[in-house]
Structure 1
Amino acid sequence: MEYEMWSDFPPERDPYIHAEDVENMINSRIRVRRYGPHEWFTLTDLLNDEQECWDPHRRGNDPLTYKGVEDPKPWQVVNHYRYTSRPLKPHSIMSCLAQLWPDTSQGLTTHELRAIVNMTLLRVNHKPFRRCHIHPILVLSFMGDYQGRIIQASYDGKGLILQYSQLWSFKDIKKAPVELFVRYRLSKPVGGVRTLSL
């Protein structure tokens, strides 16, 4: 009953819970123990501690990484990772969950764009990356009806370049592109890390 106070949807029909279920499915594939070089091997071991969760110190005027229940379509950035290997890279990976049903005739949704722009602003203004020429973000976006897509965004100081996949369905676990999303989630950054001369 507590859930019903916060949502107009019963849990099985809530698009945000669908999105969260898909995100949890991806994470469980990454964190499950497997046979490997040592007894407790998981796919996160392949990263060699190059990724860590990123939660910057926030100031009052920083952009939000979520929109709550008062919003008609709540969304949230979760599992935001940055690369920690030296030299520091401005690249990051995040997941975005939204309480909305997908519209396959449209491009990116408003929540996806807001999440990308807000995280880009946080990254651009983060001290180690202020002078970086590019700010790439990889987004795993999930929404209702167990749908998800992969978005590559890059801000170059002049504009935001976006590339995105089709919407993929995770309803049927046998046909769901879980391994594709896992590979992207575990990917390593490529490309130059030029800095601006100020």
Structure 2
Amino acid sequence: MGDPKARDAVRRLLPYICTRMERTNVVSKDLNRIFHTIKASQDVVLTDRHLKELGIKLSSFNLETDTTDGRTATFFRPLSKGELPTIDWNNLDLWEWYEGLGEEPARVDHNLYSVWHQVWAGWFLNDVKMTWTGCEEIPVGGGAEFPPRNPYQWVAHHETQAKSLTIPHFMVKVTHHAEPDERISRGEVLPITSYMEWRLRLTHYVQHFYMPILVVSFFRSKARILQAYHDGKQLHISMSKFYDFKEDNHTNYELFARWLHSKPCGDTSAPINIVGEKLDDRSVKKLESHLKQLLKVK
């Protein structure tokens, strides 16, 4: 691109990027508020009162029918049963069940990964184009908590993002050393807010206003899936029921594999309907300088 075209691109893009950042900065502050409020507490689960005070809109969705309660947007669609390759259960490395707060979720995570990997390997060998890749970068904080300073142990891991920068969707697994509870836990909301806020600050996704996240959450031998996004006013989280993996239930493993290989959807570049916080001159100049570097404007 020649200099005149590049300079014109900077002039056209800068106002859009500034508007985007003015609005997403509001979202980032709200996510930080939610994160630090929960972090400072000793609450293991969030009650209806907590959710209302924090501005979190919790809803349910059905993994089998891929339907929500109608009040929230959807940004992930699972593969259909027909799209999932045949799984050779005789050639999977499946761990046996052992009782324990740490042993049980580790087993479910390992076995689910074995199923996921066989699907991935089948596609790889057949040169099927895949959407997801491992995430090399992760935020500095917000990915784990350990006792005794915290009420229980949980760890976020196996972060996955879309290969294309036109798709800001993100997935993560969270292993909890705790009993399953129908209410949403701190170890589910903390990584959602920290990862979402971190990704909003990445310049790779400057054309996007939404950073949807899918979470696979393990408690003992049970697991559930959550979807989350922030609309500028509230953090929306949709949560499935628990599925039991104590027995090697092939149907449950296939269902979760379909979600882990899901298709990103939804309009993430639609501007969020809020008034942004105006950027100061220094921030605008930094953005302009960054744009000129990207477009190689002299």
Name the TM-score class by shorter chain: 0.7 to 0.9
* Displacement of 1:154: 1.0
Q: Is the 8 A contact 1:170 1:177 kept in 2?
A: yes
1:144-159 paired onto structure 2 within 5 Å: 144=220, 146-159=221-234
1:47-86 paired onto structure 2 within 5 Å: 48-56=129-137, 58=139, 62-70=140-148, 71-85=150-164
Matched, 1:161 2:161: no
Matched, 1:17 2:125: no
Distance 1:155 1:22 in 2: 29
Distance 2:177 2:198 in 1: 23
Q: Alpha carbons of 1:130 and 1:75: their partners in 2 closer, same or farther (altered >3 Å)?
A: farther
Query: Could you say what the CA RMSD is over the residues aligned between the two structures, in angstroms?
Result: 2.8
Choose from 242, 252, 256 the match for 1:177: 252
Aligned to 1:3: none
Aligned to 1:107: 183
Q: What amino acid maps onto 2:156 in structure 1?
A: V
Q: Is the 8 A contact 1:80 1:95 kept in 2?
A: yes
Matched, 1:92 2:134: no
Secondary structure of 2:264's aligned partner: coil
Distance 2:172 2:157 in 1: 6
Q: What amino acid maps onto 2:236 in structure 1?
A: I
Q: Is the 8 A contact 1:131 1:196 kept in 2?
A: no
* Displacement of 1:157: 2.8
Q: Which runs of 5+ in 2 are unaligned?
A: 1-96, 277-298
**Which one has a bigger Cα radius of gyration?**
2
Aligned to 2:11: none
Which has a greater percent of strand? 1
Q: Which runs of 5+ in 1 are unaligned?
A: 1-10, 35-39
Stretch of structure 1 that moved more, 118-127 or 146-155: 118-127
* Displacement of 1:67: 1.3
* Displacement of 1:188: 1.5
Q: Alpha carbons of 1:45 and 1:121: their partners in 2 closer, same or farther (altered >3 Å)?
A: farther
TM-score norm. by structure 2 comes to 0.53
Q: Alpha carbons of 1:47 and 1:22: their partners in 2 closer, same or farther (altered >3 Å)?
A: farther
Q: Runs of at least 4 residues of structure 1 off by over 4 A?
A: 42-47, 195-198
* Displacement of 1:48: 2.1
Distance 1:116 1:148 in 2: 16
Cα deviations across residues 3-31 of structure 1 (Å, max 9, x unaligned)? xxxxxxxx944323211211111110122
TM-score norm. by structure 1 comes to 0.77
Secondary structure of 2:142's aligned partner: coil
